Structure 1
Amino acid sequence: MRTTNSARSAGRTVPADRLLAGMYLSLCIALTVWSVVDGFFVTHSDASFAGIFPLIATAPVSFLVLILPEGSMVGYLVSMTVGALINTWLVYRLVGALRSRMTRLVRADSTPHEQAGR
């Protein structure tokens, strides 16, 4: 009987680099959607600070929005998207490097103990 990919991967764990990068990207998407919905569909008696949270979450790349023409929603969304993607890639690479370094340290640390027990 042939198994599907989902059946084979059901027992596997997701590596930490993918998990953290995916969680970060999901957070950035949720914050940006919330900000856009708040800006278009919610009426406020004064200004809303909803747009600042995606800006902070995707900093420093998203600070490009500060040099764009005022009131440009497309520029805001582009800078949030670019900032989120670059930061997600950085999270993925840094956590992956940390995980591989920790794996090497654990292997190097366990080798002398195994040899001493022989």
Structure 2
Amino acid sequence: MTDTDTGRSILRRLRDHIGVVGLGYLVVCAVLLAWALVVTIGDSSDESMAGVIPLLATAPASFVLLVLPDNIVMAVIAITLGAAVNTAIIGWCTRALRRGGGSD
């Protein structure tokens, strides 16, 4: 952490590192995960496919779920991992686009 980061809020530092698009993506992933958990917990038939939506929204990194044990906690971990990896990539792309690569 640099001296310039000490006086800023966490949200401001996140926005500076991953950009507005990355923050938006994180919010969408969090909402999808919360929705899927509510629908899955509320479904007594154990046939809910709601968990597929956040899994696909955080693909390809979330596909690590295919090798993890079949458990709701592992699904949440895989989706969180996928969202974090994708957000890091979005932030990297956002910073690269801001810098520009013009050879003028």
- The 5-angstrom pairing of residues 35-74 of structure 1 reads 35-43=36-44, 47-70=47-70, 72-74=71-73
Q: Moved runs in structure 1, 4+ residues, more than 4 A?
A: none
What CA RMSD, in Å, does the superposition of the two structures yield over aligned residues? Answer: 2.5
Gaps in structure 2 of 5+ consecutive residues: 1-7, 9-14
Deviations 1:26-62 (A, max 9, x none): 0100000101111102445x72221111101111110
In 2, distance between residues paired with 1:85 and 1:96?
Answer: 16
Tell me, which stretches of 5 or more residues in structure 1 are unaligned? 6-13, 109-118
Kindly tell me the number of residue pairs found equivalent between the two proteins: 92
Match runs of 1:5-84 below 5 Å: 18-43=19-44, 47-70=47-70, 72-84=71-83
Q: Which residue of 2 aligns with 1:91?
A: 90
